[in-house]
Amino acid sequence: MRTSKEELISNELKPIICQKIKDARIKFGYSLEDLAKALNYQKNRQTLHKYENGTLNIPYNILFEICRIFNIEDIDISNMPVDKETKNKFEHKFVKDYVNSTRKDKHLTPYIEKIIETYKNAIYEPITNASDLTIKVIDDSMAPAYLKNDKVNIVKLDSYKNGDDIVIAIKNNILAVRRLYKYPKGIILQALNPKYQTININVVSNDMILGKVVSLKREIK
């Protein structure tokens, strides 16, 4: 029986979510009974079957438990025909309630926590101890060096050099990668893709730049 605290995945997202968890279960060689057991029988195999075939909407908390069991790091809904509010809600909950809660390093600084709360594509998912934060690339503005849905790890520095790839905030609470060039009266932030506008900034503060890109993770499909 579903409790009042269980918030459900929306109908619009149900097809991709159902397929994702079914594919993961089969890949790992789990039966529905195996998965029910791994979930400590929070849900029985009949209920899990209904989640997979789409006759029941899966609660977020059960989805996140399944993601932990099968080490699912990302669910890409960027191409799903859903409204912006639904998409933003899912991406925020997936990052805040799942990705950030499963990280091994629990020492989340107030500075990093504020960034995660503020920016939609900020994730605490460092690949190495040398990085502070992970940013999901949301467009092709830095192609071919960085592609849409790449994850870049950044580190906050006291100063940055010409040619550094850095992360800045752009409109609508989104973080973006740009190549940094300094000149006497300010900085230039350049997108590698010529379709995107170069940004010229005359007054520069250290808080404007969130960090330097130190590594890249790309999923090959």
Per-residue pLDDT of the chain (221 residues; tens, 9 = 90+): 444 467 888 888 888 888 888 998 998 899 999 999 999 999 999 999 999 998 898 988 898 888 888 877 677 776 777 777 777 777 777 766 665 555 544 456 667 777 877 887 887 665 455 677 888 898 999 999 999 989 898 888 888 899 999 999 887 788 999 999 998 888 999 999 999 999 888 877 767 888 899 988 887 76
189 neighbors 147 (Cβ within 8 angstroms) = no
Q: Would residue 142 count as lying in a domain? A: yes
Q: 100, 125, 153 — which closes off a domain? A: 100
For the full predicted model, state whether its pTM sits above 0.85.
no
Closest of 145, 142, 131, 194 to residue 168, by C-alpha: 142
Residue at 177 is within a domain: yes
Residue with tokens 């997979």, as numbered in its chain: 52
Tokens of 200: 């010229």
Peptide bond into 144 cis (omega under 30): yes
CA–CA separation, 96 and 131 (whole Å): 18
Domain residues for the domain of 118 are 112-217
Output b/e per residue, 68-107; b: 16+ Cβ within 10 A.
ebbebebbebeeeebeeebbeebbebbbeebbbeeeeeee
Tell me, what's the pLDDT at 145?
94
Residue 21 forms part of a structural domain: yes
Domain membership flag for residue 150: yes
- Do 120 and 206 lie in one domain? The reply is yes
Instruction: Look up the CATH number of the domain holding residue 143.
Output: 2.10.109.10
Of 57, 79, 100, the residue at which a domain comes to its end is 100
Residue 3 located in a structural domain:
no
> For residue 105, is it within any domain?
no
> Residue 7 falls within a domain, yes or no?
no
Rounded distance between C-alpha atoms, residue 33 and residue 9, angstroms:
22
Tell me: do 72 and 142 sit in the same domain. no
Residues contacting residue 43 through CB under 8 Å, at least 6 positions apart: 36, 51, 62
Verify that 136 and 43 share a domain, yes or no: no
Total count of domains within the chain? 2
Q: Is residue 67 part of a domain?
A: yes
Same domain, 172 and 83: no
